[in-house]
C-alpha cells in the first residue's frame, strides 16, 4: 500500500559524466517502484533516457532529472539543463530526421510516446539558474 499519494516529486542533480544518464534511469525505476506505479516504468524510462541523453550530448553544463506525479497513475519526467536553447526535435513544426540519419530521432520519439510534452525556457545564455526544462507526461492513457 502506498504511503504517499500524489502530488510528489524528486529531483536528482547530475554531474557532467557519461554514467549520469544511466544512474538517473536506475533512480527513476526505484522511485516508480517505491510509489507502486511499476506499470509506468517502461514509458517513463524511455522518456527519461531520451531527454537525459539529449542534455548530455548537446549541452556543456550540469543537468538534472525531475520526476513528479501530479495525480494518481500519472508521471511527469523532466530534464533541466543549463542551455536555454530548445532543441529543434522538440518543437511541433520540426519534421522527422531522415531514415538513414544516425542521430536526431530521440526527441521525436519522446513526442510520439508521451501523452503530453512541454518546455520552459528559464533564462538566456550565461544567466544564473537559467537553462530550460523539457518535460514529458505518461500514464494518461498511452498504449504500450
- Residue tagged 533541466 (cell numbers): 80
pLDDT 10s digits, 21-48: 899 999 999 999 999 999 999 999 999 9
Tell me whether strands 63-71 and 8-14 are parallel, antiparallel or unpaired: antiparallel
pLDDT recorded at residue 40? 94
Q: What is the model's pLDDT at position 21? A: 87
Q: At what angle do helices 106-113 and 41-58 cross, to 10 degrees?
A: 150
CA atoms within a 13 Å half-sphere pointing along the CA-CB vector of 136: 27
- Listed as ranges, residues in the chain with pLDDT below 50 are 142-144
CA dist., res. 22 & res. 45, Å (int)? 10
Amino acid at each position: 500500500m502506498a504511503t504517499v499519494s500524489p502530488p510528489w516529486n524528486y529531483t536528482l542533480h547530475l554531474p557532467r559524466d557519461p554514467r549520469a544518464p544511466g544512474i538517473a534511469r536506475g533512480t527513476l525505476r526505484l522511485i516508480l517502484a517505491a510509489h507502486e506505479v511499476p506499470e509506468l516504468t517502461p514509458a517513463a524510462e524511455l522518456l527519461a533516457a531520451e531527454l537525459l541523453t539529449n542534455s548530455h550530448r548537446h549541452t556543456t553544463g550540469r543537468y538534472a532529472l525531475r520526476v513528479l506525479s501530479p495525480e494518481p497513475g500519472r508521471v511527469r519526467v523532466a530534464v533541466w539543463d543549463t542551455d536555454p536553447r530548445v532543441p529543434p526535435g522538440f518543437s511541433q513544426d520540426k519534421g522527422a530526421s531522415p531514415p538513414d540519419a544516425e542521430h536526431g530521432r530521440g526527441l521525436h520519439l519522446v513526442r510520439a510516446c508521451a501523452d503530453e510534452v512541454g518546455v520552459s525556457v528559464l533564462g538566456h545564455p550565461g544567466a544564473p539558474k537559467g537553462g530550460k526544462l523539457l518535460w514529458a507526461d505518461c500514464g494518461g492513457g498511452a498504449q504500450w
